[in-house]
Amino acid sequence: MRSEGERPAWVAWTDMGVVDYRKAWQLQEALLDSLKTDSLKTEEDPAHEVGYLLLVEHPHVYTLGRNGQLNNMLASAAQLQERGAELIRVNRGGDVTYHGPGQLVAYPIVRLDRLGIGVKEYVHRLEEVVIRTAGAYGLAGERMEKATGVWLATGTPAARKVCAVGVRCSHAVTMHGFALNVSTDMAYFSYINPCGFADKGVTSLEKETGQKVSMDSVKALVLRHFAAVFAVELREVTHEIQHLR
């Protein structure tokens, strides 16, 4: 707990809009390396900087985690090409998932030692950010045992995932993050067993509410809850990040 008058830890964030998956991955790796070595300094409060939060959307792409099973990818390369998508093997945890338009992807690249938490608690807090965000739309987001992410109707045959979570941690610095389905075209999930589950469904905020959901509103909620759940101050910046793009 901070003592009275102590300056808060803070996270620099930026909204990158629609970004190719590989470019976002490359930027994450650069930011991770900079935090590991403390080579990327900012002009104010460097000692209180925890890291970065990138908000993005991706063109159609499937990613397979380092321990994922290729047989959970149900489409051939030709079928993916027809749909304007591709499959990329990545270095996060988890199995196969989909990213595409209408899905908000959040990539926190943060130093867990400065947050004072471990990986398990970090994932728990990421899920909490999404649970609170979903709650703003009247949805009861839940965790499911032995399955990361945020789910609806757990413990029932109608269990379905609204947000996937997959992270990597190197020398106490994180990358990758979570993917929240806002207005996602759910047909793209029919080409995979999402996160390795053949018997569980996927859903989106729009599908559950039956209403149009503003991506900007979801971003604002995610930022607010991220700041509260991680007890950090968020500062919108671009200059430290732009030169690494």
Catalytic residues: 195
Distance between CA atoms of residues 29 and 166, nearest Å: 15
How many Cα neighbours within 13 Å face the side chain of 197? 19
- Cross-strand partners of 49: 10
Task: Compute, in degrees rounded to 10, the torsion defined by CA atoms 178, 223, 49, 232.
Answer: -110
- Cross-strand partners of 160: 152, 201
Strands, DSSP E only, in 45-95? 49-57, 61-64, 87-89
The answer to whether 203 and 184 have CB atoms below 8 angstroms apart is no
Query: What residues have CB less than 8 Å from 44, skipping those under 6 apart?
Result: none
Query: What residues have CB less than 8 Å from 13, skipping those under 6 apart?
Result: 52, 53, 54, 55, 223, 234, 235, 236, 237
Q: Is 211 exposed, middle or buried (0-12, 13-18, 19+ CB in 10 A)?
A: exposed
Distance between CA atoms of residues 41 and 138, nearest Å: 41
